[in-house]
Amino acid sequence: MKLLEERILRDGRALNADVLLVDSFLNNQVDAPLMAEVGRTLAEAAKDLGVTRVVTIESSGIAPAMMTAMTLNVPLVILKKSASRILQDGVIQTEVFSFTKNAAYQLTLKKRFVLPGDRVLLVDDFLARGEAATGASKLIEQAGASVAAIGIVIEKAFQPGRALLTEKGYKVISLARVAAMGEGYIEFAEADA
Ligand code: G4P
């Protein structure tokens, strides 16, 4: 997505070779018109996949996922991050370890919002090592649904997330793929849409 790459070049900042700061349009402040375009682009890329629901992970996934769900005219379901295990009927959880934050959390789904037979478009802001997307896919499948595709706003293509997900058979649609970055430069690989 050309507009997104241009925005990353203009306002993104590589904190180091691993972490890209995009707080001004994605993480802390959200550029709503840009997210609308993100949503339209992801929805267009997934239009033939029979998507019945969009699922995302709180918190930064919500804005792009909401716009995608709006364009596809399907419900948006939010997976929460809980510090501890919840023993409650209708709730399923899986542990996810975040290397960026060096902490584990319980990714949590209320099962009644993802139904058996649903075809889910999973949307998240970043793809790094693929831990969050793997955990989310596991919950979606435990609920009896299938993952039609995984839509990502910014993929760090130099990290192993994409390989992990494609090896498991998931279709990954990344709108921007950062191939390399460092002080003063950000380079892209070819995006999926
Ligand atoms: P993984 O799921 O692909 O393995 O990624 P990882 O655990 O490393 O990512 C954990 C969190 O850090 C996620 O946010 C992810 O969006 C974010 N993240 C990863 N790499 C970057 C980066 O280079 N730049 C920025 N800005 N964020 C990155 P989160 O914990 O879910 O936070 P939030 O959604 O509540 O904001």
Interval 140-193: pLDDT, tens: 999 999 999 999 999 999 999 999 999 999 999 999 999 999 988 999 999 999
Query: By alpha-carbon position, which residue is closest to atom 24 of ligand 1?
Result: 20
Please report the atom of ligand 1 found closest to the CA of residue 99. 8
Q: Is 74 in the pocket of ligand 1 (CB under 6 A)?
A: no
Residue type, 87: L
| Structural Rg of the chain based on CA atoms | 16
| Structural domain span for residue 28 | 2-83+90-189
Query: How is 62-80 classified by DSSP, letter by letter?
Result: HHHHHHHHHHHT--EEEEE
Q: How far is the CA of 99 from the centre of ligand 1 (A)?
A: 8
Q: Please tell me the total count of domains within the chain.
A: 1
What CATH number should be reported for the domain holding residue 184?
3.40.50.2020
Q: Is 138 in the pocket of ligand 1 (CB under 6 A)?
A: no
Which pTM value belongs to this model? 0.97
pLDDT in tens, 63-121: 999 999 999 999 999 999 999 998 889 999 999 999 888 999 999 999 999 999 999 99
- From the CA of 132, how far away is ligand 1's center (Å)? 8
Look at the block and give the residue holding tokens 């364009």. Answer: 71
Angle among Cα 43, 72, 155 to the nearest 5 degrees reads 30
DSSP 8-state class, residue 136 = H
Residues 126/147, Cβ–Cβ less than 8 Å: no
